Every structure is written in structure tokens, then in C-alpha cells.
Amino acid sequence: MSAPRETVWELKPHSLGKHLVLKEYLKAWLPILGQTQGRILFLDGFAGPGEYKGGEQGSPVIALNAFRQHSARKMITAEVKFVFIEKHEDRARHLEGLLQPLAAELPPGSVEVVRGAFDETLAKELDGLTDAGLTLAPCLAMVDPFGVSDTPMEVIARILAHPKSEIYISVMYEHINRFRGSSEFSDPLDSRYGCDDWRAYVDLDDGRERRRSLFELYKRQLRQAGAEHVVHFDLYDRGQHKYSIFHASRHSRASNEMKAAIWSVNPGGGFAFHGGQTEQLALGVEPNFKPLQDALRREFRGDRWVTIEEVEAFVMSDKTD
């Protein structure tokens, strides 16, 4: 998909999938961190205009509403702050106008729209968002660019420096695949991966193997940047792989909640999810437990005794879909 030029564009079915998972995940994330932390932050690094041509909600509105309308809102004692970064002036202005009435219901200063680039904005000091030690406050960052530019691994590492922060990143693989040979793509890819090892995989003849290797490398790099769990799933639109989501965190509970969010979204309207561990797994049809049974047998083979907690930790981790 090439980047649209209009302020507001049409919602594609696979974008709806990404939104449904985000909405479900926020239902869990807000009360879990909101009851234990003094301050939490939802950071939308590529916020967009906040709505689509047909009036469908964009990620900033989904996030604000997840908080405003949360059934456990009274129990969320943390100061909840929303920061939306958007590079394009017209989209940032559109977003500001759209959010004004929603933000008016929240304590002053809860919602901020920053006109600027994600990487440059985060590289600067973000007043009021840092904890002692200068890491960002515990945050859920959404990183949702059109292509591959402006998403350096060093910025991702800065977000993941806080042990309670996590990132929801979308990757338009076709974009990488299509432009992988062009020289102006090398720098953005070096920066995105935080290394140049991707060069070893981009020319693999087998397309599936190429994608698998590039994704495995990205997961490895996210781990090196601080993540302990990286849940990965793919979004398909009418049988075609459209893009992939990577959720990076330091906690198995976070990866477990992310998997729960994916499973709870029943695909319809022409898109489907596939898990990152087992490509055959089409989520939302009849649950297929065979891949999990096989994974459990592989993980715990042998004759030693295994505790239920060990089994739970394995199932919650990013090693299963």
C-alpha cells in the first residue's frame, strides 16, 4: 500500500483488525498498570488524523475511548497520559479538533498532540514524561508507520528501557519486500533493524523463508533492545498477507494478555489473523489446540516432573500462539 496523501483516508479491512486487537488489549492494560503505577502513558508515535473517511475511529480515538468508557475506570488510580505524535500538519490539526471534546472530560494536560516526527520527538526530552533515571514513564507505545522509515531501533530501545513499558509495532512487510533492492532503502532498514544483518536475507529466493528470516531477525533485535517477549501475528486480507504486528514487552503477563486480545477478536469482514509461531493457525475459526499440544510435548519431553507454574509460564510466554 502506498501512503495516502489526503488528510483522512479509507479504512482497509486489515487496519480494522489492528484496531480491534488494540482496543481489546487496552481493556486489560489500563487496569493492570493503572492500579499499580503512579502514572502511565499511551504513546501513539504515528497517530494519524484520528478517523477514517467513513467516520471509523483511528487509534487515538480508540485509545481515549478505551479509558473514558472502561468498566473499571474508577479503579484506575494512576494519572493516565496520552501523547499523540503526528508529522503531518493537516493530520495533526484534524486530530486536535477531533480530540478536543473527548479531552475536555479528562484532567487538564492528559492529552497532548505533538506535531513532529516520532524519532525526533522521542530523541528530545519529553517534558513531564520521564521517570527518575530518565526513562519514559511505564508506557504502551504504538508504532504504526506507513513504511519503514523513522522507526529506529535505538528509539524502540529507549522506550523499552522502562521495565514496564511495551510496544505494539506494525510492519508493512510488502513495503520492505518490494523496495528491498533499492539503495535509498538501506539506511532506513539499517536503522529499523539496528544492524545490517537483514542484507543476508533480503535476496533469499524462497519468499516464505525470506519473510520468516527477516521477522526472526526483527524479533531478535527487539529482544536485544530490551524485550523479553515478542508476540508476533500476521494480518491477512482476502488471503493476502498485508502486515504483521509485533508486541514487545518484558513480562509474560503482557504477552499473555496480547495473545488473549488477538484470540478474542473474531475476524470477519474479510481479514484474518495468523499466529507467528505456527503459520497454519488461523485465529478465530474453531480453536485448534494441536500446535499448542505439540509445543508442550516438545518443551517438556523427558521424564522429569514439571510444575503447573512452569507449564503456565510457557503457555503465557511468546513461545506459543
Q: How far apart are CA 305 and CA 321, in angstroms?
A: 24
**118 counts as binding ligand SAM under rule CB under 6 A:** yes
Grid cell listed for 133: 533515571
> Looking at 31, 138, 145, 194, which residue binds ligand SAM (CB under 6 A)?
145
Only segment of 44-52, 175-183, 262-270, 311-319 that touches ligand SAM (CB under 6 A): 44-52
The footprint of ligand SAM on residues 163-192 (CB under 6 A) is none
Binding to ligand SAM, residues 48-87 (CB under 6 A)? 48, 58-59, 85-87
The DSSP bridge partners found for residue 216 are none
Of the residues 96, 150, 257, 321, which one makes contact with ligand SAM according to CB under 6 A? 150
* Bridge partner list, 164: none
* Nearest distance in Å: CB 47, ligand SAM: 6
Nearer of residues 91 and 164 to ligand SAM, judged by Cβ: 91
Q: Between residues 49 and 138, which has the closer beta carbon with respect to ligand SAM?
A: 49
Is 236 one of the binding residues for ligand SAM (CB under 6 A)?
no
In the complex, what is the shortest distance from the CB of residue 200 to ligand SAM, in angstroms, rounded to a whole number?
27
CB 18 within 8 A of CB 245: yes
Residues facing residue 275 across a β-bridge: 233
Task: Report the alpha-carbon distance of residue 22 to residue 3 in Å, rounded.
Answer: 22
276 touches ligand SAM by CB under 6 A: no
Residues 265, 24: Cα–Cα separation, whole Å? 8
Which positions ≥6 away from 144 have C-beta within 8 Å? 18, 44, 45, 46, 48, 59, 168, 169, 170
- Residue whose CB is less far from ligand SAM, 146 or 201: 146
Beta bridge partners of 271: 237
Residue 242 is a binding residue for ligand SAM (CB under 6 A): no
- CA end-to-end distance (rounded Å), the chain: 27
Residue number of the CB closest to ligand SAM reads 58
Contact segment (CB under 6 A) with ligand SAM among 145-153, 238-246, 287-295, 300-308 equals: 145-153
Site mask, ligand SAM, residues 212-231, x = CB under 6 A?
--------------------
Q: Which stretch binds ligand SAM (CB under 6 A): 46-54, 65-73, 198-206, 293-301?
A: 46-54
Q: Is 117 an interacting residue with respect to ligand SAM (CB under 6 A)?
A: yes
Do 220 and 214 contact (CB within 8 A), yes or no?
Answer: no
Closer of 86 and 318 to ligand SAM (Cβ): 86
Our CA angle for 212, 218, 221, nearest 5°, is 140
Output the smallest distance, CB 86 to ligand SAM, in A. 5
- From the number of C-beta atoms within 10 Å of its C-beta (0-12, 13-18, 19+), residue 193 rates as buried
d(CA 94, CA 116): 14
Q: Which of 25, 29, 42, 46 binds ligand SAM (CB under 6 A)?
A: 46
Give CA–CA dist 102/104, Å, rounded: 5
Cα separation, 194 vs 222, in Å, equals: 9
Contacting positions for ligand SAM (CB under 6 A): 46-48, 58-59, 85-88, 91, 117-118, 144-146, 150
